[in-house]
Amino acid sequence: MSSAQEADRGPRHAAGYAEQAVQRARHAASTARQVAASRAQRAQSERELFAQPVQDYLYQALGRPLAVLRAGCQTPVGELGLERLRDSGYRIIVTSVDQDSPLTRAVLADPVSRNLLSAGPGPVLLGDLRSVALPPRSFDVVYSAFLLERIGNAALVLDRFVGALRPGGLLLLRVRDRDCAAAVLDRSVPERLRRALWARLHPGEPGPWPAVYDPLTSARGLTAYAAAHGLVVVAQETGRTVPEAPARLAAAVRAARLLVGWLSRNQRTDGHDELLYVIRKPEDRFARLL
């Protein structure tokens, strides 16, 4: 090879190395943007009312994995910020439990619902919630959302969840309030109409769920339960979810809720339809424990 060819080859190699370096830098920047977007999306799905107490509890329980019981296949466990904690190196084990029914199995088999509500790898227990095997005092956090209002004997089921909670552990509840206008409509509408409304308001989602609304699923019921079982209500909030689409049907549903609130003189309020509670199980050995 002549000296002229060698001289020409040097710049070409340098240009090739530079191009590879630029491609690697672009790939790294793209990966960083994707990671940042994923973290931002997870942070947006977190609910501070629940995520902050879970984080504080985890810092007090260092040295062992955080055991979480996800009660109800509709429970959006992403609200607890567990993925962010996993990214920080903490070990978290999530066990899911629900009533064994065709609808529950349909949700667990539906890929869209599974992606939206995924708790990550972990055991899934299905059965009669009054008797399903839950080891006593074995979970640090129990999170139940959209479950208690669709089952009978809700207090007995909640007894099982509290019994499975370690002393000092957190019971997180997200419940549709039986005393709100939305619940009155849900209980009053004929089943055929409920199914038709669900299909229009929640296209592609398994449902509707049974409209049971045990007396426990109200502010009075949950407060009385906590007091009777020596549990400490740390924080509580209300939430309001209203349908947005399809526009005309959603507007009609919102108008019906307003009408129920007005006719009941706001005793069946449209101001909220969800109750959210952070409850702690006492550590005091003299406290009343299940």
CA neighbours closer than 13 Å in the CB half-sphere of residue 142: 30
Q: Where are the chain's structural domains?
A: 40-175+212-240+274-280
pTM for the structure as a whole: 0.82
What is the structure's pLDDT at 108? 84
d(CA 215, CA 140): 27
Q: What is the pLDDT of residue 61?
A: 81
| Average pLDDT, rounded, for the chain | 85
pLDDT at 40: 38
Ranges of residues in the chain with a pLDDT under 50 are: 27-42, 287-290
Q: Determine the pLDDT at residue 32.
A: 39
Nearest CA among 147, 155, 151 for reference residue 174: 147
Q: Which secondary-structure segment (H or E) carries 157?
A: helix 154-163
pLDDT at 139: 96
Beta carbons of 93 and 122 less than 8 angstroms apart: yes
Confidence (pLDDT) at 26: 52
Q: pLDDT tens digit string along 30-61?
A: 443 443 333 434 456 899 999 999 999 998 88
What's the confidence (pLDDT) of residue 232? 96
What tens digit of pLDDT does each residue of 176-204 get? 999 999 999 999 999 999 999 999 999 98
* CATH number, span 40-175+212-240+274-280: 3.40.50.150
| pLDDT at position 29 | 45
pLDDT for residue 21: 58
Nearest to 173 by CA among 116, 239, 120: 239
Contact (CB, 8 A) for 126 and 105: yes
Q: How far is Cα 145 from Cα 175, in angstroms, rounded to an integer?
A: 6
